[in-house]
Amino acid sequence: MIFYPNERMALLIDGANLYATAKSLGFDIDYKRLLKMFRSKGHLIRALYYTALAEDQEYSSIRPLIDWLDYNGYSMVTKPTKEFTDASGRRKIKGNMDIELAVDAMELADHLDHIVIFSGDGDFRSLVEALQYKGKRVSVVSTLQTQPPMVADELRRQADQFIDIADLEKEIGRASSDRSHREITSRRDDIGNEAEFEDDDAVDDPTED
């Protein structure tokens, strides 16, 4: 990974996509360690985490994770999911956060040198190109270590730097000593994130362009 100590940097995390990527690789992300690692790479201005929430539920299984992130250095960007019925009569839930992430990236760009996007969604290729036209470095974090790969080829090629999250497991993975803590506080979060990704994926495949 190539980072410069004087770079002003922001992390833009597609929560559902990152969860699905880590799950496919078989490890849990320790968000405190993730933040610490990137803070050591440069001048971290913002770490934004994007996720959709079901607004008709008094309690969301992902809420504990959102609250923890919100109090521990992350800026949360959320919106309600939308329910609809497809042509075959199946109930589906849409919670895509691509527009919010793209708008924030463009608005923050003038105050940054380096944008790190945690997603493999090929739809972000145009965003990466637009940021590069503004003179910004853009890194994409996803993985090639799954079948099929979680990152779209055109996104990986467009990025200035591709970081395979599989290579970061030792630095940002949840330590085995934290397993009991994860079982108590994070199992519901994982379930919530998994449902969120599957609902969104039913409409938008994150590796399709």
Give residue-wise pLDDT tens across range 102-159: 999 999 999 999 999 999 999 999 999 999 999 999 999 999 999 999 999 999 999 9
Does residue 2 lie in a domain region? no
Closest CA to 60 of 47, 51, 71, 73: 51
Amino acid at 207: T
Containing domain of residue 182, as a range?
8-201
In a domain, 185, yes or no: yes
pLDDT higher than 60, residue 178: no
Query: How many whole angstroms separate alpha carbon 138 and alpha carbon 200?
Result: 25
Residue 200: the pLDDT is: 39
Give the side-chain half-sphere CA count within 13 A for 50.
21
Distance CA 106, CA 193 (A): 26
Q: How many domains does the chain have?
A: 1
Residue 114 lies in a domain: yes
206: in domain:
no
Contact 119, 206 (CB under 8 A): yes
